[in-house]
């Protein structure tokens, strides 16, 4: 057996992941309900100003990354992107949205949007404490 790191997931590896991930859930009586997402915020001149990525699976939506151009922070773009995800998945088979963020990033931002802290993994450097947040979609 050889273990190797790959930089990009090729077609064979992608098909393996999808097949095995799906079949294991099905064998356990769980509907995968998988959907990967990426929403962008583009201004009038076509410049990319923000992006939010993640995936929905089983009964939850998970936000992976929210990135807003530094010149546009505190302009409402981040809130609009998060709402776009919430609106896209509300009323579907997903019950909650989850995410993680570090202390130096955005825990207060998400709290203002109605997300609740489930858990904080404290670090000796509070900026690197990891926040696990959740919001109900029902």
Beta strand extents in the chain (DSSP E only): 35-42, 48-57, 60-68, 96-102, 116-121, 130-136
Residue 54 lies in a domain: yes
Residue 39 lies in a domain: yes
Query: Tens digits of per-residue pLDDT, 76-125?
Result: 999 999 999 999 999 999 999 999 999 999 999 999 999 999 999 999 99
Residue 87 lies in a domain: yes
Residue 79 lies in a domain: yes
* Long-range pairs of 85-90 with CB within 8 A, sequence gap ≥ 24: 85/37, 85/39, 85/52, 85/54, 85/61, 86/135, 86/137, 88/37, 88/39, 89/56, 89/61, 89/137, 90/137
Query: Tens digits of per-residue pLDDT, 33-90?
Result: 889 999 999 999 999 999 999 999 999 999 999 999 999 888 999 999 999 999 999 9
Domain count, the chain: 1
In angstroms, the CA 17 to CA 36 distance is 14
Residue 63 lies in a domain: yes
In angstroms, the CA 8 to CA 4 distance is 12
Domain of 84?
A: 32-136
Residue 97 lies in a domain: yes
34 touches 69 (CB < 8 A): no
What global pTM score does this model have? 0.88
Residue 27 lies in a domain: no
The CATH number of the domain where 130 resides is what? 3.40.630.30
Residue 68 lies in a domain: yes
């Amino acid at each position: 057996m050889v273990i190797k790191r790959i930089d990009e997931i090729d077609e064979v590896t992608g098909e393996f992941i999808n097949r095995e991930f799906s079949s294991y859930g099905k064998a356990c009586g769980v509907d995968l309900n998988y959907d990967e997402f990426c929403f962008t915020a583009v201004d009038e001149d076509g410049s990319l100003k923000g992006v939010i990525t993640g995936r929905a699976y089983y009964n939850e939506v998970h936000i992976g990354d929210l990135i807003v151009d530094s010149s546009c922070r505190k302009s409402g773009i981040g809130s609009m992107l998060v709402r776009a995800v919430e609106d896209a998945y509300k009323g579907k088979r997903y019950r909650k949205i989850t995410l993680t963020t570090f202390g130096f990033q955005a825990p207060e931002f998400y709290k203002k949007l109605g997300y609740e802290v489930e858990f904080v993994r404290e670090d000796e450097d509070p900026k690197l404490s990891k926040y696990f947040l959740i919001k109900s979609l029902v």
